[in-house]
Amino acid sequence: MARVYNFAAGPAMLPEEVLRQAAAEMLDYNGSGMSVMEMSHRSKEFGEIIATAEQDIRDLLSIPENYQVLFLQGGATLQFAGIPMNLMRNKVADYIVSGSWSKKAYKEAQLYGDAHLLASSEDGNFSYVPDVDAIEISPDADYVYICQNETIYGTRYNKLPDTKGKPLVADVSSCFLSEPMNIEDYGVMYGGVQKNIGPAGVTIVIVRDDLIYEDPLPFTPTLMRYSAQVKGKSMHNTPPAYGIYICGLVFKWLKAQGGLEAMKKRNEEKAAILYDFLDQSKLFKGTARKEDRSIMNVPFVTGSDDLDALFVAEAKSHNIVSIKGHRSVGGMRASIYNAMPKEGVEALVAYMAEFEKDHS
């Protein structure tokens, strides 16, 4: 069996131990005689799976009691609507746009109320994060919205905006559980799990109790109401049960790795290997501003479309796949989430060095 180093932005690599455990339990989960896929979501076994998963993510992120954890469907994209529907009491919200994902969220929010653009880095093709000290929060804003790690452009916030007491809402899809985060800095934190946690199909929403309203915007579908999902313990309807089970295995894996402090250390080490190479390379160049560089997604280019294409084409023979950049940036992108081993990053850098030698 040949496993590849998969640098995809998402769905992305999962820890091999997790895949092996899922394989071992595929036909008979814990003596139940069936797969988790075949199980009633109302069964005792699944009840334990989802309760344990919730407790484990609470432990990992030290989530306070006054925050609810929801396992939902519809991807991060459905929450672009779910956030304004649930939170836009005054029909005003402030958005900072630092890439395609926050731009999409900002556009979606315009369908439901007055979405203000506080700042944008589109003028620099989203190669940086706007200066959060220069923003002015709207006095009647229901929340302030950011995408904490912009997956396509490879930037992240090093400092959160001071929201002047307004709830901060953050899309953390591509940095979820990559390092410790202080939940109390946020009103809502959410993300699709297919980047750094599990298989596509599960969205995790962490929401503070006082933001769970019984009367969201009137047309909000019941399934999208945080209040209904809290009441149903994420099981207002059939949840993405198998996906939640895999997320639960990943939470256990993260705990066994030493938790999020340990992951942060490993992720910073991996990113440094790649950035150190990029910073001295005469051929390859990172596209994000140095101060704002993500430790999860690393876009880079050679400056020549032909060489970029050749680098991507020849990567497979080095066991490296899905290294092509997003079409809006071009070039290459290495997504180096939790499950990417250091050896994978070392293999990439070795290939880059060899390629540079051959083409300069």
Ligand X SMILES: *Cc1c(COP(=O)(O)O)cnc(C)c1O
- Interacting residues toward ligand X by CB under 6 A: 10, 75-77, 101, 147, 151, 171, 173-174, 192, 195
Does 255 participate in catalysis according to the annotation? no
Please tell me which residue in 103, 166, 195, 270 is annotated as part of the active site.
Answer: 195
Does 171 participate in catalysis according to the annotation? yes
- Please calculate the CA angle 13-19-20 and round it to the nearest 5 degrees: 140
Residue nearest ligand X (C-beta atom): 75
Output the CA–CA distances (angstroms, integers) from residue 133 to 161, 163, 267, 313, in the order listed: 7, 10, 27, 43
Alpha helices in 34-145 (DSSP H): 44-61, 75-87, 100-109
Please tell me which residue in 94, 101, 142, 253 is annotated as part of the active site.
Answer: 101
Q: What's 326's DSSP letter?
A: P
Compute the half-sphere exposure of residue 55: CA atoms within 13 Å on the CB side of its CA.
6
**Strand order across the beta sheet in which 144-147 lies:** 67-72, 203-208, 188-192, 168-171, 144-147, 92-97, 114-120
**Residue 174 and residue 195 in contact, taking contact as beta carbons nearer than 8 Å:** yes
> Smallest gap, in angstroms, from Cβ of residue 68 to ligand X?
20
> Smallest gap, in angstroms, from Cβ of residue 309 to ligand X?
24
> Smallest gap, in angstroms, from Cβ of residue 149 to ligand X?
6
Does 195 participate in catalysis according to the annotation? yes
Task: Give the H or E element holding residue 207.
Answer: strand 203-208
> Smallest gap, in angstroms, from Cβ of residue 151 to ligand X?
3
Task: Give the H or E element holding residue 171.
Answer: strand 168-171
> Smallest gap, in angstroms, from Cβ of residue 356 to ligand X?
29
Positions annotated as catalytic residues are 101, 171, 195
